[in-house]
Structure 1
Amino acid sequence: MVATTIRGRELHLGAVIGVARLIVCHPDQGPEQCTNPWAQRDAHHLVLADVQELALPVTATGALPAWKPTPDLVAQVFQQLPAFRP
C-alpha cells in the first residue's frame, strides 16, 4: 500500500522514508465511510496530514509497536525537512 503511494516505487525496509501528522485514527467502517488510502480493512484507518517524503531514507532500528526514534534519528530526519516541526 505505501510503496504504491510514494512515487510508485519499492521502498526501503528499516528506514524512515517520510514524516506525517496522524490526525485521526478510527475503527474500520467500510470503504463507503472512509476512502483514505492509508486505511487498512478489518483494522483501523489512519488519517494523515502534512505528509513529507524524505529525499534520502534514514536508517532506523528498533522493534514495533513500542519503537521510539532516537534524538539522533530525529535530527537526521529534520535535517532533510528544515521547515517541518512537530
Structure 2
Amino acid sequence: MCKTFEGINKLAKHMDSDSIVLWVGLKKISGRLYTCDDGKCIEDIVTLQDAVVEDCNHPDGCQFREYKWLNIPSSKIVGFTLKCCVR
C-alpha cells in the first residue's frame, strides 16, 4: 500500500477532517475525502467527493472543473493538506 494513501487516511481520521486539498502535478484539487470505513476503497486510490480541479497553467488562464466523484492514484499526489476548524 502506498505511504501517501496511508498517510492521508491516518491524518484525516486523527484530525477528524474530511476536507482536503491535493496537488497533482501543477493542478490543485479540493474536495471531501471519502474515507475507507466501509472497506469499499480501492487500494492506493484517493477518492474525493464534490471535487474541484483548478488548473492555472492552462494557456487560456485558470480553468475550474467540478466532479461529483474523483479517483486519484496516490502515486500522482505531490502534496496535500487537510482543512480543519479552529475553535
TM bucket normalised to smaller: under 0.3
Larger radius of gyration: 1
TM-score, length of structure 2 as denominator length = 0.25
| Bigger relative contact order (CA 8 A; separation at least 6) | 2
- Quick check: which one's strand share is greater? 2
